[in-house]
Amino acid sequence: MSKNKTYSVLIISLLVINTLLVGFVVLKPKRPLGKENKSPKEIIIKKLQFNEAQIIQYTSLVKQHRSAIKNKDVKIRDSKRNLYSLLSNDDIAKTQEDSIVTHLGVLQRDIEMLHFKHFQDIKKICNPSQEQAFNKLAKNLATLFKPKDRNPKK
């Protein structure tokens, strides 16, 4: 291949790559403003317009809640480890398997009840003018705490 042909192919390739790059930058999905890096804690404080005293109370509630959830998560991990350890036995006792699975269900129920009580406690620190904002927030709690989508689809 001559030098001119090689340079032509190289220039055309670079133009195509640059065009694709510009297309990805221009056509990428837009994120809603204000939601890029805010934690649920920050969102709740902002939506309920907590004052400094309420923020201190709320922060304390969050610490207690996280500690309680962490304890339940440890128990769930231990129970799952016990359940999966049964796979190494050829004669698995069905009652033992059922017992562990039932215990996992109870732990999950406990976690949901902890979440519910946590939001009841948050509601208690709201003043009457914040109750409407809390009720609106309560309708969207499931979406506020959903896991982050690592592979968003278009």
pLDDT tens column, 66-86: 999 999 999 999 999 998 988
**Would you call 50 exposed, middle or buried from its count of C-beta atoms within 10 A (0-12, 13-18, 19+)?**
buried
* Residue % of the chain over a pLDDT of 90: 52
* Residue % of the chain over a pLDDT of 70: 87
* Average pLDDT, rounded, for the chain: 86
pTM surpassing 0.85? no
Tokens of 44: 């709740």
Q: Please say if the pLDDT value at position 35 is more than 80.
A: no
Q: Please say if the pLDDT value at position 129 is more than 70.
A: yes
Q: Please say if the pLDDT value at position 144 is more than 80.
A: no
45, amino acid identity: I
CA separation for the pair 69, 65 (Å, rounded): 6
User: Given this model, what pLDDT does residue 28 score?
Assistant: 75
Residue of 25 and 124 predicted with greater confidence: 124
Contact (Cβ atoms closer than 8 angstroms) between residue 121 and residue 61: yes
**Distances, alpha carbon 46 to alpha carbons 40, 120, 128, 141, 154, in Å:** 10, 18, 16, 14, 29
Q: Please say if the pLDDT value at position 58 is more than 70.
A: yes
CA separation for the pair 60, 67 (Å, rounded): 11
CA separation for the pair 72, 112 (Å, rounded): 11
User: Given this model, what pLDDT does residue 57 score?
Assistant: 96
115, amino acid identity: H
